[in-house]
């Protein structure tokens, strides 16, 4: 079992397979995209698998693949098959924008992927197109259907809540009534370009009317408690009753800090993830690997360990040593520091 210097059990590794994406969500990527890393800068799937094999020996048992959009990485299905076959891996999960799921869902399931988190921020085609800068809502909805058909469990929908975007949050909440879909509302985080000037309270670069949501500002932050109150009030008005809390043992299996609620008799749940309004550093259980081979011990810390060099020129013991360094140097909390130099697509969410 791996523990860090604060006694936290670290058993969860998020691996970014690529910094590339087929969408350009306003809060995640600049319109022109970021400068793609060259082929040699990105870890090969073999390098990732070597690292994962050693990390599993050291106590990692859960792996999430993310990106960029992980489904644009060539060879992702067989990669999952090989990761899943490693002794000690409890489950593999994927975070995706779902637009390529119709093509991949059945093969991914057959390769051993159990869980998918789908990111979707609007159910209105025009708003979705604006948020993703050109995406087609029908593709994402078809992706959700293919996830159900393929039998993933749980299926979670991640909605980043941004005040200046037109989002029908109650519309998302209603999706939990008839099917076992778990909708999680995530507080918009200041990530990228040292957003928010690096501190939780600072003014960000300013959200302009013609580019809502692009730069995090305090005004765009919607605390999760406000989201829950609005949805609960919507439920009462619609005759569904208020939201009720879901005990941890009844919540959809999760590896993170979401808090869950539901409408009475609903098949799915409603969760909130509140990195800004409710800090959860004391429960942090994860390490992150970027597509270019940097090991990050905290989402909000740009102190990265150069794993790529070690993977390319070092022994397995050198890799073990860098994992130990990561565990020993993982900060207790992010000390209110929340800006990062990388945007989320370059970290992996």
Contacted entry of ligand SF4, ligand SAM, none for residue 29, CB cut-off 5 to 8 Å set by kind: ligand SF4
Q: Is 188 in the site for ligand SAM (CB under 6 A)?
A: yes
Residues 26-45 that bind ligand SF4 (CB under 6 A): 28-29
Taking the C-alpha atoms of residue 20 and residue 35, their distance in angstroms, rounded to an integer, is: 9
Contact 207, 219 (CB under 8 A): yes
Class of residue 142 by CB neighbours under 10 A (exposed 0-12, middle 13-18, buried 19+): middle
List CB contacts of 134: < 8 A, sequence separation 6 or more.
23, 24
Beta-bridged to residue 264, according to DSSP, are none
Q: Rounded to the nearest whole angstrom, what is the least distance from the CB of residue 208 to ligand SAM in the complex? A: 17
Beta-bridged to residue 161, according to DSSP, are 187
Using CB under 6 A, which of 17, 25, 141, 266 touches ligand SF4? 25
Residues 67-126 that bind ligand SAM (CB under 6 A): 67, 69, 95-97, 119
Contacted entry of ligand SAM, ligand SF4, none for residue 326, CB cut-off 5 to 8 Å set by kind: none
Q: Number of residues interacting with ligand SF4: please give it, by CB under 6 A.
A: 13
How many other C-beta atoms are found inside a 10 Å radius of the C-beta of residue 88? 14
- Region binding ligand SAM by CB under 6 A among candidate stretches 73-81, 108-116, 185-193, 312-320: 185-193
Residue 21 or 113: the one with the smaller Cβ distance to ligand SF4 is 21
How many other C-beta atoms are found inside a 10 Å radius of the C-beta of residue 91? 15
* Chain Cα centroid distance, residue 47: 22
How many other C-beta atoms are found inside a 10 Å radius of the C-beta of residue 85? 10
Using CB under 6 A, which of 4, 11, 69, 304 touches ligand SF4? 69
Residues 217-256 that bind ligand SF4 (CB under 6 A): none
Residues 4-33 that bind ligand SAM (CB under 6 A): 21, 27-28
What is the 8-class DSSP label of residue 253? P
Residue nearest to ligand SAM (CB): 349
Could you give the C-alpha distances from 81 to 3, 102, 210, 280, 327, in angstroms and in order? 27, 19, 44, 32, 27
Q: Is 23 in the site for ligand SF4 (CB under 6 A)?
A: yes
Could you give the C-alpha distances from 163 to 218, 220, 293, 320, 324, in angstroms and in order? 10, 5, 34, 43, 40
Q: Rounded to the nearest whole angstrom, what is the least distance from the CB of residue 28 to ligand SAM in the complex? A: 4
Q: Is 67 in the site for ligand SF4 (CB under 6 A)?
A: yes
Q: Which residues bind ligand SAM (CB under 6 A)?
A: 21, 27-28, 66-67, 69, 95-97, 119, 158, 160, 186, 188-189, 191, 344-345, 349
Q: Which residues bind ligand SF4 (CB under 6 A)?
A: 21, 23-25, 28-29, 67-69, 97, 119, 344-345
């Amino acid at each position: 079992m791996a523990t860090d210097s604060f006694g936290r059990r670290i058993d969860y590794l998020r691996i970014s397979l690529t910094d590339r994406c087929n969408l350009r969500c306003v809060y995640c990527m600049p319109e022109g995209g970021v400068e793609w890393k060259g082929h040699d800068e990105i870890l090969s799937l073999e390098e990732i698998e070597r690292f994962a094999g050693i990390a599993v020996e050291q106590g990692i048992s859960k792996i999430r693949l993310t990106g960029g959009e992980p489904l644009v990485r060539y060879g992702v299905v067989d990669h999952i098959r090989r990761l899943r076959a490693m002794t000690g891996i409890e489950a593999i999960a994927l975070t995706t924008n779902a637009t390529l799921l119709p093509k991949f869902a059945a093969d991914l399931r057959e390769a051993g992927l159990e869980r998918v988190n789908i990111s979707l921020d609007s159910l209105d085609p025009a708003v979705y197109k604006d948020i993703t800068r050109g995406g087609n809502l029908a593709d994402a909805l078809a992706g959700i259907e293919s996830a159900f058909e393929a039998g993933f469990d749980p299926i979670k929908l991640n909605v980043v809540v941004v005040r200046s975007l037109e989002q029908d949050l109650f519309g998302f909440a209603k999706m939990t009534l008839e099917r076992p879909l778990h909708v999680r509302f995530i507080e918009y985080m200041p990530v990228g370009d040292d957003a928010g000037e690096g501190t939780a309270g600072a003014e960000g670069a300013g959200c302009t009317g013609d580019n809502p949501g692009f730069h995090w500002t305090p005004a765009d932050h919607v605390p999760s408690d406000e989201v829950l109150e609005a949805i609960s009030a919507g439920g009462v008005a619609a005759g569904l009753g208020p939201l009720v809390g879901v005990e941890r043992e009844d919540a959809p299996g999760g590896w993170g800090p979401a808090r869950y609620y539901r409408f009475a008799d609903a098949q799915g749940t409603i969760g909130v993830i509140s990195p800004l309004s409710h800090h959860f550093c004391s429960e942090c259980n994860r390490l992150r690997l970027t597509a270019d081979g940097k090991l990050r011990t905290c989402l909000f810390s740009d102190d990265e360990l150069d794993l790529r060099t070690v993977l390319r020129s070092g022994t397995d013991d050198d890799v073990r040593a860098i994992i130990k360094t990561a565990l020993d140097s993982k900060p207790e909390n992010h000390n209110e520091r929340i800006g990062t130099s990388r945007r989320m697509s370059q970290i992996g969410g």
